Amino acid sequence: MTRSRWTALACLLLSCGVSVLLGFFLERARPDLMMDFKGVYFDARCLLQHTDPYEPGETLRVYLKEGNTLPESPEGLRKVLSGGAVYLPTTPIFIAPLALLPLGPAQVLWMILTAAALVFAGFLMWSLGANYSSVISGGLICLVLANSEVLFATGNPAGIAVSLCVVAVWCFLKDRFVWAGILCLAIGMAIKPHDAGLVWLYFLLAGGVYRKRALQTLLVTAVLGLAAIVWVTPISPHWMQEQHSNLLVAAAPLGVNNPGLANPTNGKVSMVIDLQSAVAFFRDDPLLYNSVSYAVCGALLLAGAVRTLRSRISQQGTWLALAAIAPLTMLVTYHRPFDAKLLLLAVPACAMLWAEGGRVGRLALVVTTAGIVATSDLPLIVFLAFTRNLRISTDRLSTQMLTVIFARPVPLILLVMSVFFLWIYFRREPVSSRP
């Protein structure tokens, strides 16, 4: 560890410490917070007590049975606990060791694990980006870590899943601790496949040793999934149908996962940020906003896949591809700002382009910074405070577009970020050198 590395680590720890501290006070101030962790925690408690967590109401029953008070907020923890489990069985299998502990110590330990994982992932990305620009890399990563208050306050598993995905990328690109990287990516996919899935897909399409790593990861993920199914199925023989039903309820109008205008989290820092949430402002019709979003994201995915299949593996190309994949992952399907910590993967590409200088380098910094700021908690709080009472007519297309810019800037910025890095990815000639 050189002096610069110790300095970078100290800055990352300080940045993450700010988020942990503010998240802790938020959690203490509102008992309905830490609700995402409580949801998976009591799902695992249900399974440990041989009770079906996918049956609506069972998780809440176990929660109350253990002496906890009924949550007051109907759209918060109460809905999370009463609606039935929405995660795959592979998620509670990793929470089960913590579910053996009382809720208080389990929450503290989960927050510590999330913070340690984020700092470690951020440090690894800094170590790669520092080869091009240590200042740019450090500044962007500190910005990500210092704005993770909601992640710590809710305890969402995205903090662990995204961090493990980032660690796996470092292991694969550096060709070090490869089996640790395979296990990390497999666990990330098992916990939140919609966070790590496109990263895994890139390695599969890239070919060569990366495809081998992707197939090994798939095998480990399948083993983990089989173990989870063997555990859950005797307790919840109809878990697939029940989970599907629970997801439909959560995505229905007035549901917390619905991207439409009636979502109760609209106007809050924990809002939905997929592309559907922006298209819904033109017409709040699932057929329309899903079709448009899938068409746009599908076209970008197809273009990137064809470019990857026709290219040779290169370090430069890998960074550009991952920088395009990270924001695109947020747009394809349901995500919230805490999932966007995956934008850590865009930092090395930004630093690389900045080091090359010129207009492209400056534009890369602006676009990457905009993506990170748009999904950061404190800037979102300020932005929402200024726009909460904003009323704009939606009679014409021009005013509808203006409404989207003010009310849903996050998916639009992420779309610009993904298109920009995909454009640079196409411009660069494939080379044969391997990372």
Q: Number of C-alpha atoms within 13 angstroms, CB side, residue 128? A: 26
What is the residue whose two structure tokens read 């273009």? 303
Q: How many Cβ atoms are within 10 Å of 179's Cβ, its own excluded?
A: 11
Helix ranges (DSSP H) in 207-314: 208-232, 239-251, 275-279, 286-309
Q: What is the pLDDT of residue 394?
A: 57
- Residue 378: which of 112, 121, 23 has the closest Cα? 23
Say if residues 59 and 43 touch (Cβ distance below 8 Å). yes
Taking the chain (435 residues) in consecutive chunks of 10 residues, what is each chunk's mean pLDDT? 68 75 66 79 91 87 79 60 81 92 91 90 90 88 87 90 96 94 96 95 94 97 94 92 87 81 78 90 86 95 93 88 96 92 96 92 96 90 75 62 78 96 84 44
Do 8 and 126 touch, CB atoms closer than 8 A?
yes
CB-count burial class (<10 Å; 0-12, 13-18, 19+) for 82 = middle
- The Cα–Cα gap between 164 and 200 comes to 12
Spatial CB neighbours of 167, under 8 Å, sequence gap ≥ 6: 117, 120, 121, 124, 180, 181, 184
Q: What is the pTM of this model?
A: 0.92
What integer pLDDT is reported at residue 76 of this predicted model?
A: 61
Burial (CB count within 10 angstroms: exposed 0-12, middle 13-18, buried 19+), residue 363? middle
Residue 255, φ and ψ in degrees, nearest 5: -80, 155
Q: In this predicted structure, what is the pLDDT of residue 434?
A: 42
Residues 6+ apart with CB under 8 A from 10: none
CA of residue 392 relative to chain centroid, distance: 31
Alpha-carbon distance of 281 to 300, in angstroms, equals 22
Q: Are 262 and 254 in contact (CB under 8 A)?
A: yes
Per DSSP, the three-state class of 264 is coil
Apex 317 CA angle, 133 and 189, nearest 5: 95
> Looking at residue 432, what is its pLDDT?
45
The CA-to-CA distance between both ends of the chain, in Å, stands at 22
Cβ–Cβ under 8 Å, residues 92 and 44: yes
163 token code pair: 């961090």
- CA gap 272, 364 in Å, rounded: 25
Q: What pLDDT sits at residue 114?
A: 92
